[in-house]
Amino acid sequence: MKRVLIFLIATMLIVSISYARNYNKAEPEHLDLKTFKEKVFDFEANTEWKFEGDRPCIIDFYADWCGPCKKIAPIMNELAVEYYRKVDIYKVDTDKQRELSQMFGIKSIPSVLFVPIDGEPKMFSGAYPKGSYVQMIEEILKVK
């Protein structure tokens, strides 16, 4: 009986540590042109919108020098943790990824693109409070 109890405790501990390690990895992923085409939309292979991802995503178009971008960065980090494995959170540096910025007509930053599994993506410009992003996730991405 004692061995079974020790085995169960050890198993629960291993599962907890494994979950915690993965959970701590929940952070926005930076995309470049290549990874964007693999994970979001391959605009060279498709003329019409065809989402490449397995789950809905949010793409934060930002720049390091942008004050409002810095304001929403911690919000995007929190959303990456809270929606881990439900919504992928990506970041695109508009200074380094000019082709992507031009493709989406980014004129002001931050601009945040919400991409549902089915349907067209929706772009929002400006810094919003976290509650607004949560509402957009629920309404546009259909994720609770």
Instruction: Give, rounded to a whole angstrom, the gap between the first and last alpha carbons of the chain.
Output: 42
Active site residue 57: no
Catalytic residue among 57, 59, 69, 100: 69
Strands, DSSP E only, in 10-79? 29-30, 57-62
Catalytic residue among 40, 57, 59, 66: 66
d(CA 117, CA 54): 7
User: Radius of gyration (Cα) for the chain, nearest Å?
Assistant: 18
Active site residue 66: yes
- HSE at residue 85, side-chain half, CA atoms within 13 A, is 5
Contact 51, 120 (CB under 8 A): no
* 45: Cβ contacts below 8 Å, ≥ 6 apart: 37
Q: Which residues are catalytic?
A: 66, 69
